[in-house]
Amino acid sequence: MSIVTGMAIFGVRAGRATVRLNNSARDFAQYAERARLDAIRRRTTTHLEVTGPNTFEVTMDFDGDGDSDTRTFQLEDGVIVTDANGNAVVSTATDLPWADFDWRGRTFECNAVFRMKNTRNEQISVQIAGSGDITVNSAITTLPNVNFANINANDEVNPSVTLAGSDVKTNLSPCGTVSATPTPTPTPEPTPTPEAPDEDPPCSLTPSPAQITGLKRNNGGTATLSVTVNQPGTIVKTVSANLTVTTASSENVTAAGGTTISYTVKSKNNSWGGPFPIKFEFADCDPKTVNVMVIK
């Protein structure tokens, strides 16, 4: 009777450990499903995260007021969350498993696996696929490699075609340990520098020569003076009272590129010496002065 009683007690304890493990896994899966449905209902993001060896947090709208709350839950006695090697997770670790659900009820392109173990080393897992599907101990996390045998030419196959190769299934780790491959940032094309609009050349007013010497007094001779400008406009001259300055050309310049105007300079009286100035002004140019020296 003692032996039978001992075996019965042992069986009850083992059964309780198994029941606690199954209950913990199913409770966890139910909270994950609630968080997923809440994300869809409110078109927002909800969160599920392991925070220690036997605790986890859920962030969702628990009381129906439209705002997210974070609550902490505990697994049943003797049940812990483990890593892939069966070791209990540490609350301070940076790679604790977690999952976020978006407004479509999907996770962020990863496969979250939450592993649990009881005191009898029995294990069970809750898996959340990228599509949002939640399964308890029935999902396949590792698949064998798929090998393709060579297909050689025969009567029913194109003789020039041979298929060979292998494919390896990508096994995704829990969300907390997946390092997403960053999307390469395209190199921006250089923005062409806009060409500066053509600007008019700076105003130019050039008399030649810059000074006249040797002109005889009282109409005793003449001197030739040319003035070159580089754009349309009107040449305005101011002449000393002792001189006469004349030109056969119009001083109203209409040519786009300007022109050169010739002037004839004479002494109009008996005054001599000087200098006697001739001042030229044109458009926005700086005014220029030609000094004339008169001899007897």
Q: 0.75 exceeded by the pTM?
A: no
Q: Which tokens in the block code for residue 168?
A: 């390896």
Q: Hunting for tokens 């002449």 — which residue is that?
A: 239
Residues in the chain: 296
> In which element (H, E) is residue 292 found?
strand 288-295
CATH of domain 2-136: 3.55.40.10
Cα 115 to Cα 113: distance, rounded to the nearest angstrom: 6
Report residue 118 as tokens.
Answer: 């009881």
In this structure, whether the domain defined by 205-295 belongs to CATH 2.60.40.3450 is answered with yes
> What DSSP assignment string belongs to 254-267?
--TT-EEEEEEEEE
- For residue range 14-43, list pLDDT tens digits in order: 689 999 999 999 999 999 999 999 999 999
Predicted local confidence at residue 50, as pLDDT = 94
- What is the mean pLDDT, run by run of 10 residues, along the chain of 296 residues? 67 80 93 94 92 94 92 94 91 87 83 90 90 76 53 56 54 45 63 69 90 85 91 92 90 90 90 87 91 86
Q: Tokens in use for 282?
A: 């044109």
- State the DSSP H helix or E strand holding residue 154, giving kind and residue range, or none if neither: none
Pairing of strands 288-295, 211-216: parallel
Residue 178's pLDDT is what?
A: 42
Classify residue 43 by its DSSP letter.
T
Amino acid (1-letter code) at residue 19: V
CATH 2.60.40.3450 region(s) of the chain? 205-295
Both tokens of 198, joined, read: 């053509």
Mode of pairing for the β-strands spanning 134-136 and 146-151: unpaired
Please list the residue range(s) of the chain that carry CATH number 3.55.40.10. 2-136
Say what the pLDDT of residue 43 is.
Answer: 92
Q: Fill in the amino acid letter for 122.
A: E
Q: What is the pLDDT of residue 219?
A: 84
Q: Which residues pair with 57 in a beta bridge?
A: 49, 72
DSSP 177: G
What burial class does residue 220 get, using C-beta atoms within 10 Å of its C-beta: 0-12 exposed, 13-18 middle, 19+ buried?
Answer: middle
CB atoms under 10 Å from CB of 257, counted, come to: 10
State how far the Cα of 251 lies from the Cα of 253, in Å rounded to an integer: 6
CA distance 151 to 262: 97
